[in-house]
C-alpha cells in the first residue's frame, strides 16, 4: 500500500479535495471536534500529507501531533508544510506501532479505515481505546457503505480479486467500506462509549467515539 500512495504523492491532495464526497467540507468538520485552544496531544492514523492537520492547526496551532503513515514521500510533504509545529512522524503501518496506554488526548483518522477487514478494525480500535486518556475521543472521517448488501459485495469482490491474482495476506488498496451502523458497532465492541455519526455527505461520514 505504501507504494500506491508514494507514486501518487504529487496528485494526492488535489484528488482528495476534489474527488471525494464532502471533501470541500469534511476537513473543517473534522477539525471542529477538537478544541480551539490548548496544547492537547493527538494521534493521527494514516496522516498522509496532513490535509486534516492543515485544518486542525488552523483551528488550534498549539495541538501536538503524532502521525503514522506507511508512505515516506507523503510524510516528507507533511514535514515541509509544517516545520514549526509539534509534529512527531512514524513511517510504519499503524497496525505495527505500539501506541502505549493513556498517551493521547484524542485520535483522528481520515479516509483510511475502509481498506481493512472487520477483525483488523476491531483489533485496532481496541488499541486506540487503550492509548487514549480517560475522557479521550476518536474522530473517524471515512467512506461508508450505503447498506449492508453493498458492504458484503465489496468484501466479496476483494476476496475474488485476491484469489484471481494469487495475492497473499497483506494490506492492499482496495475499498471495503462498512455501513455506519456496522462501524459504530465495531467501535462499541472495542470499548468505545457513546459512538455516533455526527455528519454525512454522500458516501462520507464523520463518526465520534469516546473512551
How far is it, in rounded angstroms, from Cα 117 to Cα 169? 11
In a 13 Å sphere around the CA of 102, the CA atoms on its Cβ side amount to 3
78 secondary structure, DSSP code: H
Fold exhibited by the domain 2-210:
Rossmann fold (3.40.50)
Separation between Cα atoms, residue 152 and residue 176, nearest integer Å: 9
- Is the pLDDT confidence value at 135 over 90? yes
Lowest mean pLDDT among 6-10, 93-97, 127-131, 175-179: 6-10
- C-alpha closest to that of 45 among 119, 123, 128: 128
Task: Say if CB 45 and CB 115 are below 8 A apart.
Answer: no
User: Element (H or E) spanning 90, and its range?
Assistant: strand 87-91
Instruction: Provide the grid cell at 119.
Output: 477483525
Output the pLDDT for position 23: 84
Task: Identify the pLDDT of residue 11.
Answer: 64
Of the pLDDT bands very low, low, confident and very high (cuts 50, 70, 90), residue 5 is very low
Confidence grade of residue 14 (pLDDT, cut at 50, 70, 90)? confident
Confidence of residue 164 (pLDDT cuts 50, 70, 90): confident
Q: If pLDDT is split at 50, 70 and 90, which confidence band does 7 have?
A: low
CA atoms within 13 A on the CB side of 117: 10
Statement: residue 12 has pLDDT above 70: no
What's 20's DSSP letter? S
pTM as predicted: 0.89
CA atoms within 13 A on the CB side of 112: 28
Mean pLDDT on 148-165: 91
Cα(196)–Cα(199) distance, rounded to whole angstroms? 9
- The domain spans of the chain are 2-210
The pLDDT of 126-140, averaged and rounded, is 98
Amino acid at each position: 500500500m505504501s507504494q500506491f500512495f508514494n507514486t501518487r504523492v504529487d496528485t494526492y491532495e488535489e484528488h482528495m479535495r476534489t474527488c471525494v464526497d464532502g471533501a470541500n467540507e469534511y476537513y473543517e468538520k473534522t477539525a471542529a471536534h477538537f478544541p480551539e485552544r490548548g496544547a492537547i496531544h493527538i494521534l493521527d492514523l494514516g496522516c498522509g500529507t496532513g490535509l486534516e492537520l492543515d485544518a486542525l492547526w488552523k483551528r488550534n496551532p498549539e495541538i501536538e501531533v503524532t502521525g503514522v503513515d506507511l508512505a515516506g514521500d507523503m510524510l516528507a510533504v507533511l514535514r515541509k508544510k509544517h516545520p514549526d509545529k509539534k509534529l512527531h512522524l512514524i513511517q510504519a503501518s499503524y497496525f505495527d506501532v505500539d501506541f502505549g496506554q493513556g498517551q493521547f488526548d484524542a485520535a483522528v483518522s481520515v479516509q483510511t479505515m475502509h481498506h481493512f477487514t472487520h477483525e483488523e478494525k476491531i483489533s485496532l480500535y481496541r488499541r486506540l481505546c487503550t492509548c487514549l486518556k480517560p475522557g479521550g475521543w476518536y474522530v473517524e472521517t471515512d467512506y461508508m457503505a450505503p447498506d449492508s448488501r453493498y458492504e458484503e459485495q465489496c468484501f466479496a469482490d476483494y476476496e475474488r480479486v485476491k484469489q484471481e491474482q494469487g495475492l497473499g495476506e497483506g494490506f492492499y488498496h482496495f475499498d471495503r467500506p462498512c455501513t455506519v451502523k456496522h462501524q459504530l458497532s465495531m467501535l462499541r465492541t472495542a470499548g468505545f462509549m457513546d459512538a455516533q455519526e455526527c455528519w454525512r455527505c454522500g458516501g462520507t461520514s464523520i463518526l465520534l467515539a469516546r473512551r
